[in-house]
Amino acid sequence: MDYKILAEQLVKKCLDKGADAAEVYIESGRDLSIEVRNGEVETVREAASHGAGFRVFVEGKTAFSHCNDFSDDALEEAVSSAIAFANNTTPDENNILPEDESVTEVEGLYDPEIAEVDMERKIEMAKKVEQLAMTDERITKSSGAGFSEGDSEIVIANSNGLLKSYKSTACSFGVSVVAEKGEQKSTGYEYCRRRFFSDLLPPEEIAEKAARDAYELLDPRMVKTQKAAVIFDPDAARSI
């Protein structure tokens, strides 16, 4: 489906239904998730989705609606709902639409290679990083490894003549393992996420970091209560 054409058609539909101005936002996407454990594939999930958002203006009043069913009846109802909502809101002179010149193009977000890579290669990447992490003798169990990818397309159109779109991608793989010493157990996890498939780090690097994170947590020591400077590991710092 050409979402640019659809967006323009929906803007016109909003105007035909009584809107003075309108904006349509369409997002579509595809996601793939692969999970392996102990060298065996546990799950492979692939899903696609799409949705459209509407912003309409009626005599300085504005309202929104959303629809993820692209049948004619569903889209018609979403447009009618937005206009009905707008008629029951308060006018605001600041409710305006952007001009085409105010929106810039963004490059370097989309990698067509990701979707072209064979499924078996993606599965093997997950298996490989798990296998490498388990070669460390201090690692006793695998909590699983995986590969995931996603791509999306965003289209925005409005009655001021704006019509813009962009595509973006992302892919990642990683592994989680367990280190044991006596009664102690600790888990280490590492992954790599990039927009471009060719930019993914080698599985050896990911596996080594996951294993190290697991065994370095063994044999923890208590410290005395004190005021002191604290340096956070990047993985801990980002969650604060």
Q: For residue 47, list its beta bridge partners.
A: 31
pLDDT of residue 227: 94
Q: Is it the case that residue 102 has pLDDT exceeding 70?
A: no
pLDDT of residue 153: 97
Asked, for residue 62, whether it belongs to a domain, the answer is: yes
Q: Taking residues 145-165, report their average pLDDT.
A: 96
Give the model's confidence band at 240: pLDDT under 50 very low, under 70 low, under 90 confident, else very high.
confident
pLDDT of residue 207: 98
Q: Taking residues 3-25, report their average pLDDT.
A: 97
Phi, psi values for residue 218, rounded to 5°: -75, 155
pLDDT of residue 122: 98
CA distances from 168 to 74, 110, 111, 131 (A): 27, 4, 7, 31
Q: Is it the case that residue 162 has pLDDT exceeding 70?
A: yes
- Residue 18's domain comprises 3-219
Q: Taking residues 50-72, report their average pLDDT.
A: 96
Phi, psi values for residue 70, rounded to 5°: -95, 20
Asked, for residue 225, whether it belongs to a domain, the answer is: no
Residue of 206, 185, 86, 92 whose CA lies nearest to 141: 185
Query: Residue 212's domain is classified under what CATH number?
Result: 3.30.2290.10
Give the model's confidence band at 56: pLDDT under 50 very low, under 70 low, under 90 confident, else very high.
very high
pLDDT of residue 29: 97
Q: Taking residues 161-190, report their average pLDDT.
A: 95
Asked, for residue 187, whether it belongs to a domain, the answer is: yes
Asked, for residue 28, whether it belongs to a domain, the answer is: yes
Q: Which two tokens stand for residue 72?
A: 């004619």
Q: Is it the case that residue 188 has pLDDT exceeding 80?
A: yes
Q: Which two tokens stand for residue 102?
A: 């105010």
Total structural domains in the chain? 1
Asked, for residue 237, whether it belongs to a domain, the answer is: no
pLDDT of residue 238: 77
Asked, for residue 240, whether it belongs to a domain, the answer is: no
Q: Taking residues 142-163, report their average pLDDT.
A: 96
Structural contact between residues 149 and 31, judged by C-beta atoms closer than 8 angstroms:
yes
Task: For the beta carbon of residue 144, count every other beta carbon within 10 angstroms.
Answer: 18
Helices (H), the chain: 3-16, 72-86, 113-116, 119-134, 203-215, 234-237
Phi, psi values for residue 69, rounded to 5°: -110, 115
Give the model's confidence band at 239: pLDDT under 50 very low, under 70 low, under 90 confident, else very high.
confident
Asked, for residue 122, whether it belongs to a domain, the answer is: yes
Structural contact between residues 6 and 12, judged by C-beta atoms closer than 8 angstroms:
no
pLDDT tens profile 72-86 = 999 999 999 999 999
Asked, for residue 186, whether it belongs to a domain, the answer is: yes
Cα separation, 240 vs 238, in Å, equals 6
Q: Taking residues 14-39, report their average pLDDT.
A: 97
Mean pLDDT score across all residues of the chain: 94
